[in-house]
Each structure stands twice: as structure tokens, then as C-alpha cells.
Structure 1
Amino acid sequence: MTKRVLILATDGFEQSELMKPKANLENAGIETTVVSLESGEIKGWDKDDWGDSVKVDTTLDEISNCEGYDALLLPGGQINPDVLRINERAVALVKDFDMAGKPIAAICHAPWLLVEADIVKGKTVTSWPSVRTDLKNAGANVVDSEVAQDGNLITSRNPDDIPAFSDALIARVQERVEENA
């Protein structure tokens, strides 16, 4: 059975937080699909300047729900999640994955989307330091660890956490596929 992860991003995603988990997923035999606000390509942010572009496989307008995907990956960067969290379709997609109980992996600033989707209350999560107050205000239990897993949520702090973040997401996708086999 093919395992599939949807990656939701737009211009300004932290380059390493999309590219490295995407490569790790694919190396583990998991298919990835990049979804964005518009077709074409989206441009990454690489530390302190614009980075490489990534091909968009489909748009939010073409995705009606989480059906056909085993998990959702939300890369960070400051620009990317800030733009996505004010897009109703992006927030609705996050909520849909949550209601289906499917894993949602959010790193760095991406937990802003979890706050916007109102799915962190009572959950243990982590993030980039500047996002932690927003998480606390939304009712989350915030910890400072490379990976926090609570229910279907997987969160990490920054690019240094990508190996553990990727491993946690890969394990959850494989568990989920086995449970549903």
C-alpha cells in the first residue's frame, strides 16, 4: 500500500524544513505531494535570503480534504505559516487532517497553523521560541524538546531537530498504514 504525505507550503517556507523532511520521507518509500495556494513553484527562504524553489504538485483549490493522504507536513519559516494561517482553505485542511486523526507534523513557526485551526488545547507541543506564547495562549502545554508527540500532533523547534522530526513522522505514517491494512 502506497504511503502518502501532503506537504502544505507557500513562498517563504524554511528551505531545510521542507526539503530535508521531504527527502527523508521519500527515502523511506513514502510518496510526497506539495500543495500550495497557486500552481507553479514556491520559493524557499534559506537562513537569511531567498533560496531554492520547489515544484507545486497541486493547489489548495484542487484538494477538497485529507482523503488519499496518510499525514500532513507543515514546514516552518516565518513567512510561510504566517501567510497560510490567514487562508481559510489552508486552515480547513489542517482541521480536516486533525478530525480524521491523521498525523500532522509542524516544525518551527508552523505550529501557528495548529493554533489557527484551534487544535492545540490540552496538547503537548513545541515550536520556535517566538511561537510558544501563542501556543500557551491557545491552551497548549509547551515544552522545549526536539520532538513533542501528542495524539496525532508531531512538533519540533528548528532545523537542528529535522532528523528526529522526520523519524517521528515516518514512524507514525508507517504505524498508521499498518493499522489500516
Structure 2
Amino acid sequence: MRSYDQVKSLSNFRVIVDTREKNTEKSKIRFREFGSFERQALTVGDYTFNATLPSGKKLHDETHAVEPMVAIERKLDLGEIASCFAGNKKHRFYNELERAKAAGCKLYLLVEDATWDDIFEHRYRSQMQPEVLIANLNAIQARYDVHLVFCKSEYSGKLIKCLLYREFKELLQQGKFDDMTL
């Protein structure tokens, strides 16, 4: 794709928010950071991107669930991610990781209001010991090529948009959508 066409495609960039992502006061603030966004069912993650290519074709149409090339799974805090490694949520979480891996989806795991220090100091609501949480996080990074990101919740909207925009730009530059522009 020519440089001009890449710029044109980037100007049509939009964040897709999964339909299961709840509308809360915090999420409304996050969504405002996206600028243009749309809601669609995602097979993996909470956020991905869409754009209209120079040919007029969209990367994802609105009639089907989106199987993203890149997705971000957002967790509210360390307590929520710890709960994904135990109990009823464990099976569902690992199924999502398996779906992402099978689909070749690059997956970011964004945990809000958290740092490695918080884990080491056990500053989270869970009985899970820090060394167990660290082992689980390291395991999913190694097994599923998950990219773990921590940030303050007030910046998560900006970070989600920045990560997805950069991933889309890189894919454009690599020619991943060239066959769709004809």
C-alpha cells in the first residue's frame, strides 16, 4: 500500500469496543479518549481496531463477530486478574487465551491501577499469594505470547488507543491489508 493510502487508512482508524464491555462512568471517560469508536462483538478481548481502506472496504463489517488480529483485554485491577487464575473464571479466561493463540491474534493484557510493586507487596484484593500471581502472569506471557501492560485507569483510554493505532500502522506498513485494497 502506498504511503498516501496508509495515511488515508489511518485517518479512518476507530477503536472497536466489545459489546460485553459495560457502560459505566469510568468506561464513558475511557470511550471519550478513543474519539471515534464503535461497538461490535469480539471473539477475543475487549478492544480492537477498525478502519476503512482506500478501496472503501472496512477491515471488519458490522454483521459478524470480529476476530481481531490485535486485541486488548482490560482488567479493572489486580484482584480481577487474580480471579482469572482461580475458580469459575479460570476456564473461561484460558479458553479466551487459546482462541487468541489459535487465531494468531496478538493479545495485550492491560491491568489498570497496578504495578509489579503492587504484586510483590500484595497490594490487591485476593488470597492469591504474590509468587503464585507472578507465576501465572509469567506463564501466560510465555505460553500465549500475551503482552502485559500496567497503567493508571485515568490513562487506559489513551493507552488503548495508542497501542491499537500503532499496531494498525505497523500492519499497514508490513502490507497486511494490501490484498484488501484492490
Is the shorter-chain TM-score for this pair beyond 0.5, marking a shared fold? no
The structure number with the bigger radius of gyration is 2
* Length-normalised TM-score, structure 2: 0.44
Bigger RCO of structures 1 and 2 (CA < 8 A, at least 6 apart): 2
More helix by share: 2
More strand by share: 1
